[in-house]
Structure 1
């Protein structure tokens, strides 16, 4: 494992734990050269389906893009990194369980909204307002009514 702070390849594992959801191994490491500590996660790598955009183009699934959009919606909200990771793991499990080679991005958006709804209602509304492109107050109010 390369140290993220220096180019050294020698790191020592200080602690290993299974994550709360049991889907990853969390390892605390220490660089033997610069003595800085960092955390790595080891996950099973499964083949994710290709995403089909509205215009028909196809893109590879990107955990980082989903993580980024969920973090943006959760900005300044009291949700832990562990809870966010667990939500993404749930989303990915659902995507894999569909058993499809291609999935529309709209389906991914709906799954993201479902996970955000469980995590934080404000984040859900933030994401939904962009994802569903609310045109007027009535459509925004209907989203709020869904939460109640």
Structure 2
């Protein structure tokens, strides 16, 4: 690390602590040449991730857009905003763990649906109606029946 005062690349770390809610490390450094102190921040540098849209176009992945979509799906429901934020972060982590540089909206939407299914059935249905492009009430009915079937305990007979 070059000193911002004298440009020497010899320094020592005086203090190190977590910053930005644990997403970074703040290091207080002292230049051994001029004795000036300065701070540096260390953050994870994610490899770029691209989204392949249904139209075939490609755009950079935007975690804020992912979170905003999940917020819209959970709007006016009794769900802690921090829970939604953590769910969005988990979805992003799953996508990055796939190791792909380009991911289709169908894959992203599938991960979001799984996360929303665990949070609230209404949030799931709201997102599913957009992601799966519902065009009729029958689409809603089919998806709701599938959601209900998934929620039944193993071995449970819905007929009685």
TM-score, shorter chain, exceeding 0.5: yes
More RCO (CA 8 Å, sep 6+):
1
* Match status 1:112 vs 2:112: yes
State the shift of 1:47 in Å.
2.0
TM-score between the two structures when normalised by the length of structure 2: 0.63
State the shift of 1:125 in Å.
0.5
Output the CA distance in 2 between the equivalents of 1:111 and 1:103. 11
Output the CA distance in 2 between the equivalents of 1:43 and 1:115. 26
Output the CA distance in 2 between the equivalents of 1:118 and 1:43. 30
Deviations 1:2-61 (A, max 9, x none): xxxxxxxxxxxxxx799xxxxx528xxxxxxxxxxxxxxx97442242111112111000
TM-score between the two structures when normalised by the length of structure 1: 0.68
Deviations 1:80-102 (A, max 9, x none): 12211211121011101111111
From the superposition, tell whether residues 99 and 45 of structure 1 become closer, same or farther in structure 2 (CA, over 3 Å). same
Greater Rg over alpha carbons, structure: 2
State the match for 1:56 in structure 2. Answer: 56
SS for the counterpart of 2:91 is helix
From the superposition, tell whether residues 143 and 102 of structure 1 become closer, same or farther in structure 2 (CA, over 3 Å). same
1:34-113 → structure 2 map (5 Å cutoff): 44-113=44-113
Please list every run of at least 4 consecutive aligned residues from structure 1 whose deviation after the TM superposition is greater than 2 angstroms. 42-45
Unaligned runs of 5+ in 1: 1-15, 19-23, 27-41
Output the CA distance in 2 between the equivalents of 1:43 and 1:139. 44
Higher mean C-alpha deviation, range 74-83 or range 45-54: 45-54
RMSD: 2.4
CA contact (8 A) 1:25 1:43 kept: no
SS for the counterpart of 2:133 is coil
Unaligned runs of 5+ in 2: 1-17, 24-41, 149-160
